[in-house]
Amino acid sequence: MEKLKDSIRSRLAAVREACRSKDAFIKAIETKESSQGRAEQRNFWKNEDLDVTPPEQQTWRWFDYASFWLSYGLIPGTWSVGSSLVAVGLTPWQATICIFVAYALGAMGVVLHSRSAATYHFGFPVESRIPWGMRGAYFPVLLRVMCATIWMGVTLIESGYFMVVILRCIFGNGFYHMKSYIPTSSGVTTQQIIGLFIVWILTLPLLSIPIPKIKIFFVLQTVIVPPSALANVIPWGADCTTLLPRFLNIKRGMHISYILGVCICPWYILTSASTFLEFLGGYSIFLGGFLGIFLTEYYIIRKGNIYVDQLFEAHGRYSYQHGINWRAIVAYLIPLALLLPGFAHVFGHTVPAGFLRLYEIGWLFICMSTGLLYYLLSLLGNAREERTMRFEQIYHESVVLHAVSPDNEVGSDVERSQEAVREKS
């Protein structure tokens, strides 16, 4: 009890100090400058969550990641894929095969894409700076945030649908058949809105659990409570940190996503099976290009060699021209332009049949074509130094240095190995 009182007193004291002046308020809401805590100077490109993850926070193991992805696969939005395919005419076994093939391809992309983060311990916003440039990286992050916002909303409202079933079991048909004061054209009922906000309120406290510790929730969820929005909210929080690193960290971003997920009225997306499938097909063509570009960048062009310290430097090797890598832009836009006619057909426009067929394999097409085009453009003077190295040479040399001097600060072993590589070159 005394600990609780002390905690409340310290929080009240912090609030009073923050309200003392404008500067004190700004300082109170600022994020930490690095993963190691406060620093004398702030780097615009870094904060506590954008920084390389320190060893003490690298607590997730293979089982935790497996639980996370199993949890993601068990969210209501994923269940809707199969029922939507059946609703538009496929037989159950055809829908099963389609989903199996699609998720197998997606799993391959996830594993290959995760290699860099598992090796160098940075997140998607920082990783995006490698092929896109320091400023160009805002584009893939913003696009992914918009897609994740829609998925966040879809997961919340579908969890609300499940809550309605639970409430009907508890309170009977009196609750289920009560009058709805929301117009039928809105695509949602009063009961579903009640279910949505009950889910929202009950799961909101989970957003305050630190990421290194929340892994236990995903383990339990796969066994006890499958429906959850947390699998979408964590990436949203991680991505938004790069948009305003001085004031946004993962925890604050997660809370913002929970608010936006309701504000976008996600029930409109679920008004019919065809609408839901159109949404899935539409956002996949915009995100697939990012995968193709990065896999080519990491595995073929740079051979897994990343100068981590330069990812936080405005005028480093990843600044390219004015912070933007034109190769990534061209490689992304040209294949996307070939898919846009098929995307336009979703909204009722008449287009040639060839574009429709191409759109049907849009994700595969844009992944492969962006990767190939990016490789050809990168032959024009991109990452020449890294091409002469062994695969992930920088990382392996940093491991050797860390073993020799285990008391190095976080990231210093990588930085020293990078200096050694530069001296050899």
pLDDT in tens, 209-251: 888 888 877 777 666 655 666 777 888 999 999 999 999 999 9
Note whether residue 173 is domain-resident: yes
Per-residue pLDDT band for 423 (boundaries 50, 70, 90) equals low
- The rounded distance, in Å, linking the Cα atoms of 253 and 234 is 8
Residue 85: CB atoms within 10 A of its CB come to 19
User: What is the band of 391 on the pLDDT scale with cuts at 50, 70, 90?
Assistant: very high
Least confident window among 6-10, 74-78, 292-296: 74-78
396 part of a folded domain: no
- Residue among 234, 169, 182, 175 at smallest CA distance from 203: 234
Separation of alpha carbons 231 and 219, rounded Å: 12
Domain-embedded: residue 95: yes
Region 113-128: mean pLDDT is: 94
Give the residue-averaged pLDDT of 70-87.
77
Q: Tens digits of per-residue pLDDT, 285-298? A: 999 999 999 999 99
Q: Is the pLDDT of residue 71 over 50?
A: yes
Is 256 contained in some domain?
yes
Q: What is the pLDDT of residue 245?
A: 94
Q: In this structure, which long-range contacts are made by residues 243-246, counting pairs with CB atoms below 8 Å and at least 24 apart in sequence?
A: 243/138, 243/141, 243/142, 243/145, 245/31, 245/44, 245/45, 245/46, 245/47, 245/50, 246/30, 246/31, 246/42, 246/44, 246/47
263 in a structural domain: yes
Average pLDDT over residues 378-403: 81
Question: Can you say whether residue 51 is alpha, beta or left, with left for phi > 0 and alpha for psi between -120 and 50 degrees?
Answer: beta
**pLDDT of res. 298:** 97
Q: What percent of the chain has pLDDT over 70?
A: 88
> Does residue 104 surpass a pLDDT of 60?
yes
pLDDT of amino acid 399 = 65
User: How confident is the prediction for the chain on average, in pLDDT?
Assistant: 86
Structural domain boundaries enclosing 92? 61-273
* Dist. CA 345–CA 358, nearest whole Å: 12
Whether 352 is in a domain gets the answer no
Instruction: Tell me how far apart the alpha carbons of residues 35 and 299 are, in angstroms, rounded to a whole number.
Output: 28
pLDDT value at 252 more than 80:
yes
Quote the pLDDT of residue 185.
Answer: 83
Report how many domains make up the chain: 1
pTM above 0.95, yes or no: no
In this predicted structure, what is the pLDDT of residue 222? 63
DSSP letters, 8-40, are HHHHHHHHHHHTT-HHHHHHHHPPPSBTTB--S
pLDDT at 165: 92
Mean pLDDT across the stretch 184-192?
88
239 found inside a domain: yes
Domain-located, residue 133: yes
The yes-or-no verdict on residue 404 having pLDDT over 60 is no
What's the Cα-to-Cα distance from 260 to each of 28, 71, 195, rounded to whole Å?
25, 22, 17
